[in-house]
Chain A
Amino acid sequence: MTTTERPERSVPKPVFTDAEAGAREFPDSSASARRYNYFKPAKRKQTHYEDVTVDVQPDPHHYLTQGWIYGFSNGEGGYPLHWTKLKAWGSDKPEPQRGPGTGGLPVKEWPAHGWHEFRDPNEEWEQTLYRYNANVVRQLTQNVENARNAKAFEQWTPNWVRFVERNVGAWMHIEHILGLYVFAGNERSGPTNMHNTAMAVNSAHKIRFAQDLALYNLTLTEEIEGFDGSAHLNAWNADPEWQGARKVCEALTAVQDDWGEAIFAANAVFEPLIGELFRSNLVMQSAAGNGDFVTPTVMGAGEYDYAQRDLRWTIACFAPLTQDKEFADHNRQLMQGWLSNWVPQALQAARQMQPLWSQPDAKPPRFEDSLDKAKNRFAGICRDLGLDTPEELKQ
């Protein structure tokens, strides 16, 4: 028997380089040099979230010594602070005037201005984003699958079927518009990477929730005889109950050049006065009585997004501005003005939805009680933000 020699393959050879931490001592070899040192953490120890987020979006007020190098047609580049009327301390301080022979004029103090102080309390970055949302969609899929197997939809009353196909269906449009054209629509505009990433994550929640509702609607079409999967379009386009909410929702996309106002109005006004009013105080309160234990789990996932995550970052973003060491009065007045503008619109839209409370056979709590609950919730948000509850809430 002969053996044929296999020709040596051309592959890179492993080499022992001993290039691991601690292999030698030299300037900067110590453990204290093994941390990102270009920002000061919000707390004593810098977090993983801060490490992957802070200062990725640079700022000429800080280290960006040559300034922005590409601009819009008016010459402005980057993330101008005047893209909202809100101000954080240091906002009006001009950028260092750099030029021939000036050096880089790096601003070594951190933060360079108040906007840099914001941290998302949810500490969202890619790992948290995917873990959270993957868990939600997995759980929802299982819930719906279980309901299908258990023939749970057969217990629904005919009126409830109509209610879900029209009204739960109509809500998907609101989530979609907010997700794409308010939160994603503004994530180019925030002054720091922390703001813009929080908006992107908020947007992902909304778009996912809109799709959750759409796909739930598809399942119901397949599972419930006579369930009209296109009825939500008709409700959204024509039902008078929905036109007020639609009008306010669309108005949020039309806020003129102010990311702060759009996000504030969406999460601090629209969500508690219309969103939670509908999701928590109507749908989730009515479903069980009408034989439906599935819809609240779908709605509840979206509700958790808002109540536990999206509202949290919103408070952390806007509340410090009402206590800002330089612009507290300016910001309070501005936000109170926004409340005066948006609260009446939201309340009018909420009242327009009142007939929905009469549609299910098993009635939810009275509309006025539901609205009071939403108003109380909203008043609490105002307190958390350091704002007065607006007079308009009495309407």
Chain B
Amino acid sequence: MSRQSLAKAHQKIQELAWEPAYHEPYMKYGTDYTFRKAAKKDPLKQVLRSYFPMEEEKDHRVYGAQDGAIRGNMFRQVQERWLEWQKLFLSIIPLPEISAARSMPMLFHVVPNPELHNGQAIQMIDEVRHSTIQQNLKRLYMNNYIDPAGFNNSLRNFQSDYCGTIGRQFAEGFITGDAITAASIYLTIVAETAFTNTLFVAMPAEAAANGDYLLPTVFHSVQSDESRHISNGYATLLMALSDEDNRQLLERDLRYAWWNNHRVVDAAIGTFIEYGTKDRRKDRESYAEMWRRWIYDDYYRSYLVPLEKYGLTIPHDLVEESWKQIWEKGYVHEVAQFFATGWLANYWRIDAMTDEDFEWFEYKYPGWYDKYGKWWENYARLATPNGHNAIVAEDVDYVYPHRCWTCMVPCLVREDMVMAEVDGQWRTYCHEVCRWTDVEAFRPVYQGRETPNMGRLVGHREWETLYHGWNWADVVQDMGFVRDDGKTMTAQPHLDLDPKKMWTLDHMRRMPHLQSPNVLLNEMSDSERDAFHADYIRQGPAGRPAPTDA
């Protein structure tokens, strides 16, 4: 179809726009936004006659590459350190994708722009593509990679392991609460426009450097659909901006969405890229450098800041604070350390860092070794069972952290931890912005304004609560993270598949019982809690206990 006929075709399908004559559609989903003065334009003129063959052609390329990878024995060159982290990533990502598909009808209900509904419907179909193509990639890894454990039960594991909720909010946040907050601001304006750059472009590049060229094949194909989704979000945002009453909500939602995406995506993808790679060339970009390029320059400066002239209040302070967290406060390193501390509550194997890794980290993040080097040396020392416990129960100068009630990443930058009593419960937050999100933003009234459609943070948000007082062997067994001999653990703190070097439930049984930090916090008296907080914010970096006063 020629360009001209495509424009004509798009013009023609606008005749399908529907104005109800007899029955108004049932409005299941709500928003506190209003669209009284909205201009109605579809920025991307897509018709299905060209869309389906285009996507089929993309599929041909993806599946052809997959056949080629198997014939070419790609897995003889894949780094296990890298592919183990894919057990987590590919557990997470099909859910956000399919949730994005489910979020599109929420927008039909609230955005009065029939022209835009066409683009949203195509996005819905795209997202079904993304979810199933990713499930399929995981299946291929399971069939062809040396260790299928963790891939084979990923959708049970992800739904119960100790960091699953961190990834899950990047899905449930798309499909609940205020439809515009969820499906437009959180999903398309921030997650897709900003953070898919690190997810779907930066990370696949790292995969290729580790011998895996299927992740880039699949995810670049996925990313090629994202530009259309970004256009959907941009059009909705411009519609929202044309109504003054929305500006307070836009400011709230951009702050929440930006900060939550930073907390969640930077935690996960930062760890995969920095700690899952074997590529330690000094001129390869660090996650911080990628973030500066993809998120700070390409998104913040090129996309977000220009919107200021349309009246959007940009969270400049949070963008700078996020950068500070990554560059000065070691956010990604703290998260990686937490993942490795809790290796036994996961379902993939985490490799220790070596001298070559140390050198690279020191080069890219000056001062890294003084903060984290000793702990990683301990991790390597304690990697194979030899009469000692797993690192979480050994004295390695690490205080097990409290969870953030909002983003569910623990409060790892200890000095930033804040507490609040909410709904009769004491909660810890990793940062003031996460406290604000729970206490002020996700509420039915915001700054004196009724916000009846805003969502709620619900569920058992601290994983440790469920297993308070449990023996670790029972915890691992309850989650099902055990291999087919009935005793060897799926997770290991090293990559050696020699059964004699692998941890079993017997090793777990002799460890001290698991304690929930939040349950313990709520058992404290007021003065004990104050003392706890005063101590906590003096801890770190690298989870070190607070210095004892001389």
Kindly list chain A residues whose C-beta atoms are within 8 Å of the C-beta of B104: 184, 188
Kindly list chain B residues whose C-beta atoms are within 8 Å of the C-beta of A281: none
Total contacting residues, chain A, CB less than 8 A: 114
Kindly list chain B residues whose C-beta atoms are within 8 Å of the C-beta of A53: 132, 135
- Which residues 231-257 of A sit at the B interface, judged by CB distance below 8 A? 232-233, 237, 243, 246-247, 250-251, 253-257
Cβ-defined contact, B469 with A101, below 8 A: yes
Q: Closest residue of chain B to A49, judged by CB?
A: B132
Cβ-defined contact, A212 with B484, below 8 A: no
Kindly list chain A residues whose C-beta atoms are within 8 Å of the C-beta of B55: 130, 134
Query: Which listed residue (B48, B76, B129) contacts A126, Cβ 8 A?
Result: B129
Asked if B20 is an interface residue, CB under 8 A from chain A, the answer is yes
Type the 1/0 row for A204-231, where 1 means its CB is closer than 8 Å to any CB of B.
1001101110110110000000000110
Known: A78-B172, A126-B132. A177 touches B18 (CB 8 A): yes
Cβ-defined contact, A17 with B108, below 8 A: no
Cβ-defined contact, B133 with A57, below 8 A: no
Asked if A51 is an interface residue, CB under 8 A from chain B, the answer is yes
Cβ-defined contact, B56 with A14, below 8 A: no
Q: Closest residue of chain B to A210, judged by CB?
A: B16
Total contacting residues, chain B, CB less than 8 A: 126
Cβ-defined contact, A71 with B160, below 8 A: no
**Cα distance, A30 to B152, chains bound together (Å):** 12
Query: Which listed residue (A66, A77, A172, A201) contacts B16, Cβ 8 A?
Result: A172
Q: Closest residue of chain A to B97, judged by CB?
A: A56
Cβ-defined contact, B490 with A21, below 8 A: no
Query: Which listed residue (B63, B456, B460) contacts A75, Cβ 8 A?
Result: B456
Cβ-defined contact, B460 with A67, below 8 A: yes
Asked if B67 is an interface residue, CB under 8 A from chain A, the answer is no
Asked if B49 is an interface residue, CB under 8 A from chain A, the answer is yes
Known: A19-B75, A103-B466. A26 touches B498 (CB 8 A): yes
Cβ-defined contact, B153 with A37, below 8 A: yes
Cβ-defined contact, B15 with A126, below 8 A: no
Most buried by B among A75, A101, A131: A101
Binds B, one of A189-197, A270-278, A316-324, A378-386: A189-197
Asked if A43 is an interface residue, CB under 8 A from chain B, the answer is no
Asked if A304 is an interface residue, CB under 8 A from chain B, the answer is no
Known: A26-B497, A181-B25. A34 touches B155 (CB 8 A): no
Known: A20-B75, A203-B121. A253 touches B160 (CB 8 A): no
16 sampled A-B residue pairs with Cβ under 8 A:
A12-B208, A17-B79, A21-B146, A24-B146, A29-B497, A48-B136, A51-B139, A63-B156, A65-B160, A67-B459, A101-B470, A104-B479, A106-B480, A137-B49, A210-B16, A243-B21
Q: A residues near B, CB below 8 A?
A: 10, 12, 14-24, 26-30, 32-38, 48, 51-58, 62-73, 75, 77-78, 98-104, 106, 125-127, 129-131, 133-134, 136-138, 140-141, 172-173, 176-177, 179-181, 184-189, 193, 196-197, 200-201, 203-204, 207-208, 210-212, 214-215, 217-218, 229-230, 232-233, 237, 243, 246-247, 250-251, 253-257
